[in-house]
């Protein structure tokens, strides 16, 4: 083989290797971008869900608070009825 042929073969192999490395690097970057994009979308969805739940639960009264309000109402009614007997 001539020197030109050997040099062409080496150059072709080197170029191919560089292209493969560049392609692999680009694929990794694209993969990372895809993963970060998915992660970002999941975080945004979680934040939106959190906001909806927070709005829903803000005005919601707990069962204990409902019972306390009912007891206060009953005590108020009882006090009013007792006041009628004092008259």
Span 16-65, pLDDT tens digits = 555 565 555 555 666 778 888 889 999 999 999 998 888 887 888 888 99
**Minimal CA–CA distance to 1: which of 57, 36, 67, 10?**
10
- State the Cα–Cα distance between residues 47 and 45, nearest whole angstrom: 5
* pLDDT number for residue 60: 82
- State the Cα–Cα distance between residues 71 and 81, nearest whole angstrom: 15
- State the Cα–Cα distance between residues 33 and 36, nearest whole angstrom: 5
Domain ranges for the chain, please list them.
Answer: 3-86
Q: Which two tokens stand for residue 16?
A: 């191919």
């Amino acid at each position: 083989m001539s020197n030109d042929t050997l040099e062409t073969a080496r150059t072709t192999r080197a170029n191919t290797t560089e292209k493969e490395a560049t392609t692999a690097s680009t694929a990794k970057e694209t993969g990372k971008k895809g993963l970060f994009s998915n992660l970002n979308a999941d975080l945004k969805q979680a934040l939106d869900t959190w906001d909806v739940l927070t709005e829903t639960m803000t005005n919601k009264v707990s069962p204990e608070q409902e019972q306390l309000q009912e007891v206060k109402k009953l005590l108020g009614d009882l006090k009013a009825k007792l006041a009628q007997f004092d008259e």
